[in-house]
């Protein structure tokens, strides 16, 4: 009876809030437990959690959608750099995709989600030992454990890829490979464990991060800021840098990112039902709202709405709704989208110019600032009426959640910035993170990869 | 022999080509170029960053002609390309030392036509 009940609860909520979900157990047992106990299979599930084909199908498709986001990001970023650096950005994204996939199965997954303490998982699941087809009820009770593992792998991949935006056009490729591995190990894996892993301290505090506002966006965004400081400005920045070489590629990338984001957020329901649907809807609405808001701000300040502004707003909105997507109403998503249009716009327009750092493709301005807003906004707009597995935010009479979210945002910000900064300095001491002046002038495609993205002659 | 270089607004190209054809001037090389003149550039904006030195898109014509065709060429380009707005472009006329038709090896005025 108990176990049947727990199975039901776990199916209907995410692993991110699994601890909180237990609070609803007595309510469930009173309401529907008796009816379900009579169902065929109910008692079998008590012994071994049953795999649900619908849930598994959705999570596997979602993993594929999130995988697509890294090549999508490659084109989003690639379109924004100069012609001579196009391949370098594509190559950085692809190398991260392959490298982190390996890191994840060797020890990354274990450090993030394996049994450990409140700060980091252990090495029990290294080389995917024991991570098989039997569901792990702590995370997702109705899908094979490996489905959860591969879905999470795609998050671990795209997060370091986001940082590329800060150091594009001047990072040495060998340094990028070393830094990415170190960053995944010392920053991504622990932070993922804090918020999502069993025993993680932020998870125990009741921090809500549905699909990675802190784990992915704040984390990558703050290290991006550190990277822009460690590597310094590009030669000629700001006025001597040519405009984006191919905005249509950036639009293609942004469109595919949006598409992939349905897997990112709705997939984080780890099942296919009302929670996934709610996250899907909130995701779409926030992205759309922020796109409109950014366009309007450009229209007001620069007299014309810009294509680059519109897609930047879309991405900022999608990033901001990520931690909130499973917990907010469609109207809450609109409010988050409005904030995501305004706050990153100010960061990119005024703060960057004022402080003079060269966050080349605004990885901090869009993902970092958007993510910070999203994590805080979750503390404002989250509602138990949307997902009983969540919590009520400020608007629903619980200022405590806002405080918890704020603390989580600050802790993540500080950790990613400081450790990201230190790791870059360490790599710099050994292999120099920045390419030489001549290499930067000629472009990274030729100097790092001995290739050219485009031929001039047929 | 003269070598005539015309820099015109891209949207006037079809009109200029038609008028050149009417004057029986067939030899022409066209390329897309960027540049600036009195018109200056239109500042482009990327994530609120204004590009100061942006160059404007123009179309460049290169035409080799015998002396008898110089004024006809100038007339065709001028009339075809003129809108009366700033930025209509320029025509440069250079002396041409030699012209060789690759297929036959003909030289000089014979080779141009």
Whole-structure pTM value: 0.87
The answer on pLDDT for A25 being more than 90 is no
Question: Encoding tokens for residue A303?
Answer: 């007299």
CB A10 within 8 A of CB A46: no
Hey, is the C-beta of B54 within 8 angstroms of any chain A C-beta? yes
How far off is chain B from A347, nearest CA to CA, in Å? 11
Q: Is the CB of A362 less than 8 angstroms away from the CB of B52?
A: no
ipTM of the complex: 0.79
User: Which residues of chain A lie closer than 8 angstroms to B53, CB-CB?
Assistant: 239
User: Which residues of chain B lie closer than 8 angstroms to A243, CB-CB?
Assistant: 44, 46, 51, 54
Domains of chain B: 2-112 (3.30.70.120)
Per-residue pLDDT band for A184 (boundaries 50, 70, 90) equals: very high
Q: Is the CB of B48 less than 8 angstroms away from the CB of A348?
A: yes
The reported pLDDT for the residue numbered A14 is: 45
- A140: β partners: A136
The reported pLDDT for the residue numbered A29 is: 34
How far off is chain B from A239, nearest CA to CA, in Å? 7
Q: Which residue of A82, A240, A243 to mutate against B (max B Cβ within 10 Å)?
A: A243
User: Which residues of chain A lie closer than 8 angstroms to B46, CB-CB?
Assistant: 243-244, 306, 308
The reported pLDDT for the residue numbered B39 is: 73
Per-residue pLDDT band for A242 (boundaries 50, 70, 90) equals: confident
Half-sphere exposure (CA, 13 Å, Cβ side) for A289?
A: 24
Question: Residue A127: left (phi > 0), alpha (psi -120 to 50), or beta?
Answer: left
Per-residue pLDDT band for A1 (boundaries 50, 70, 90) equals: very low
User: Which residues of chain B lie closer than 8 angstroms to A345, CB-CB?
Assistant: 48
The reported pLDDT for the residue numbered B54 is: 73
Q: Domain segments of chain A: what residues?
A: 2-47, 57-449
Average pLDDT over residues A219-245: 95
The reported pLDDT for the residue numbered A48 is: 62
The reported pLDDT for the residue numbered A433 is: 97
Q: Is the CB of B48 less than 8 angstroms away from the CB of A301?
A: yes
With an 8 Å Cβ cutoff, the interface of chain A facing chain B consists of 238-239, 243-244, 298, 301-302, 304, 306, 308-309, 312, 345, 348-349, 353, 362
* Of B47, B53, B54, Cβ closest to residue A308: B47
pLDDT tens readout for residues A48-64: 669 999 999 999 999 99
pLDDT tens readout for residues A361-399: 999 999 999 999 999 999 999 999 999 989 999 999 999
Q: Nearest chain A Cα to B44, which residue? A: A243
pLDDT tens readout for residues A157-174: 999 999 999 999 999 999
CB A68 within 8 A of CB A157: no
The reported pLDDT for the residue numbered A179 is: 98
Hey, is the C-beta of B43 within 8 angstroms of any chain A C-beta? no
The reported pLDDT for the residue numbered B53 is: 67
pLDDT tens readout for residues A88-121: 999 999 999 999 999 999 999 999 999 999 999 9
The number of helix segments (H) and strand segments (E) in chain B equals 3, 6
The whole-chain average pLDDT of chain A stands at 91
Q: Which residue of A306, A353, A354, A361 to mutate against B (max B Cβ within 10 Å)?
A: A306
User: Which residues of chain A lie closer than 8 angstroms to B41, CB-CB?
Assistant: none
The answer on pLDDT for A43 being more than 80 is no
* Of A243, A244, A302, Cβ closest to residue B48: A302
CB A374 within 8 A of CB A336: yes
Per residue of chain B (113 residues), give pLDDT as tens: 999 999 999 999 999 999 999 999 999 999 999 998 887 777 888 888 888 767 889 999 999 999 999 999 999 999 999 999 898 999 999 999 999 999 999 999 899 87
The reported pLDDT for the residue numbered A47 is: 54
Count residue pairs from A and B with Cβ separation < 8 A: 30
How far off is chain B from A96, nearest CA to CA, in Å? 27
Q: Which residue of B47, B54, B56 to mutate against A (max A Cβ within 10 Å)?
A: B47
* Of B45, B47, B51, Cβ closest to residue A362: B47
Q: Is the CB of A349 less than 8 angstroms away from the CB of B54?
A: no
Q: Is the CATH code 1.10.3430.10 the one for domain A57-449? A: yes
Hey, is the C-beta of B31 within 8 angstroms of any chain A C-beta? no
The reported pLDDT for the residue numbered B94 is: 97
The reported pLDDT for the residue numbered B105 is: 95
The reported pLDDT for the residue numbered A328 is: 97
Average pLDDT over residues A219-237: 97
Angle separating helix axes A307-321 and A53-80, nearest 10 degrees: 140
Return d(Cα A337, Cα A443) in angstroms, integer. Answer: 37
CB B74 within 8 A of CB B22: no
Hey, is the C-beta of B45 within 8 angstroms of any chain A C-beta? yes
For chain A, the three-class secondary structure string (H helix, E strand, C coil) is CHHHHHHHHHHCCCHHHHHHHHHHHHHHHHHCHHHHHCCCCHHHHHHCCCCCHHHHHHHHHHHHHHHHHHHHHHHHHHHHCCHHHHHHHHHHHHHHHHHHHHHHHHHHHHHHHCCECCCCECCCCHHHCCCCCCCECCCECCCCHHHHHHHHHHHHHHHHHHHHHHHCCCECHHHHHHHHHHHHHHHHHHHHHHHHCCCCHHHHHCCCCCCCHHHHHHHHHHHHHHHHHHHCCCCCCCCCCCCCCCHHHHHHHHHHHHHHHHHHHHHHHCCCCHHHHHHHHHHHHHHHHHHHHHHHHHHHHHCCCCHHHHHHHHHHHHHHHCCCCCCCCHHHHHHHHHHHHHHHHHHHHHHHHHHCCCCCCCHHHHHHHHHHHHHHHHHHHCCCCCCCCCCCCHHHCCHHHHHHHHHHHHHHHHHHHHHHHHHHHHHHHHHCCECCHHHHHHCHHHHHHCCCCCCCCC
The reported pLDDT for the residue numbered B50 is: 85
pLDDT tens readout for residues A322-350: 999 999 999 999 999 999 999 999 999 99
Percent of chain A exceeding pLDDT 70 equals 89
Q: Is the CB of B46 less than 8 angstroms away from the CB of A244?
A: yes
User: Which residues of chain A lie closer than 8 angstroms to B49, CB-CB?
Assistant: 238, 353
Q: Is the CB of B47 less than 8 angstroms away from the CB of A239?
A: no
Average pLDDT over residues A1-23: 39
Hey, is the C-beta of B44 within 8 angstroms of any chain A C-beta? yes
The reported pLDDT for the residue numbered A384 is: 95
The answer on pLDDT for A427 being more than 90 is yes
pLDDT tens readout for residues A247-269: 999 999 999 999 999 999 999 99
User: Which residues of chain A lie closer than 8 angstroms to B48, CB-CB?
Assistant: 298, 301-302, 309, 345, 348-349, 353
Q: Is the CB of A243 less than 8 angstroms away from the CB of B54?
A: yes
pLDDT tens readout for residues A285-297: 999 999 999 999 9
Per-residue pLDDT band for A134 (boundaries 50, 70, 90) equals: very high
Q: Is the CB of B46 less than 8 angstroms away from the CB of A308?
A: yes
């Amino acid at each position: 009876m108990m176990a049947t009940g727990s199975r039901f609860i776990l199916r209907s909520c995410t692993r991110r809030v699994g601890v909180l979900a237990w609070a609803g157990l007595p309510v469930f047992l009173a309401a529907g437990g008796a009816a379900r106990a009579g169902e065929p299979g109910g008692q079998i599930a008590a012994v071994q959690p049953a795999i649900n084909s619908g849930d598994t199908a959705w999570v596997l498709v979602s993993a594929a959608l999130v995988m697509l986001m890294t090549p999508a990001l490659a084109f989003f970023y690639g379109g924004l750099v100069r012609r001579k650096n196009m391949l370098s950005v594509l190559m950085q994204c692809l190398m991260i995709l392959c490298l982190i996939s390996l890191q994840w199965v060797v020890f990354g997954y274990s450090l993030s989600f394996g049994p450990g303490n409140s700060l980091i998982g252990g090495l029990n699941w290294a080389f995917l030992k024991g991570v098989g087809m039997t569901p792990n009820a702590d995370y997702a009770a109705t899908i094979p454990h490996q489905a959860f593992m591969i879905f999470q792998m795609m998050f671990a991949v795209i997060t370091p890829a986001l940082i590329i935006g800060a150091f594009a056009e001047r990072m040495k490729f060998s340094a990028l490979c070393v830094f990415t591995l170190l960053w995944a190990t010392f920053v991504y894996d622990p932070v993922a464990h804090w918020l999502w892993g069993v025993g993680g301290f932020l998870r125990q505090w009741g921090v809500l991060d549905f699909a990675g506002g802190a784990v992915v966006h704040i984390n990558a965004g703050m290290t991006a800021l550190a990277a822009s400081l460690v590597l310094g400005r590009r030669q000629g920045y700001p006025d001597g840098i040519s405009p984006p070489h191919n905005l249509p590629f950036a639009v293609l990338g942004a469109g595919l990112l949006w598409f992939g984001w349905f897997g990112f957020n709705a997939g984080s329901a780890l099942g296919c039902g009302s929670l996934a649907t709610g996250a899907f809807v909130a995701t779409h609405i926030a992205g759309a709202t922020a796109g409109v808001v950014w366009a309007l701000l450009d229209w007001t300040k620069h007299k014309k709405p810009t294509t680059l502004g519109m897609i930047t707003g879309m991405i900022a909105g999608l990033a901001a709704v990520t931690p909130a997507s499973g917990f907010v109403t469609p109207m809450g998503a609109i409010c988050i989208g409005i904030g995501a249009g305004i706050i990153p716009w100010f960061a990119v327009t005024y703060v960057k110019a004022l402080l003079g750092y060269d966050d080349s493709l605004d990885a901090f301005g869009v993902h970092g600032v958007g993510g910070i807003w999203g994590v805080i906004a979750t503390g404002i707009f989250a509602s138990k009426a949307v997902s009983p597995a969540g919590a009520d935010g400020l608007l629903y009479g619980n200022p405590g959640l806002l405080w918890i979210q704020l603390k989580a945002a600050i802790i993540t910000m500080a950790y990613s910035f400081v450790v990201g900064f230190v790791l870059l300095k360490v790599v710099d001491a050994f292999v120099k993170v920045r390419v030489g002046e001549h290499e930067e002038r000629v472009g990274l495609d030729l100097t790092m990869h001995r290739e050219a993205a485009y031929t001039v002659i047929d | 022999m003269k070598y005539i270089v015309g820099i015109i607004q891209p949207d006037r190209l079809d009109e200029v080509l038609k008028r050149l054809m009417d004057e029986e001037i067939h030899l022409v090389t066209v390329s897309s170029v960027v540049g600036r003149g009195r018109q200056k550039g239109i500042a482009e904006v990327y994530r609120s960053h204004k590009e100061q030195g942006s160059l404007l898109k123009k179309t460049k014509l290169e035409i080799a002609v015998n002396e008898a065709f110089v004024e006809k060429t100038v007339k065709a380009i001028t009339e075809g390309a003129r809108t009366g707005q700033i930025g209509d472009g320029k025509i440069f006329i250079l002396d041409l030392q030699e012209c060789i038709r690759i297929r036959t090896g003909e030289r000089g005025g014979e080779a141009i036509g």
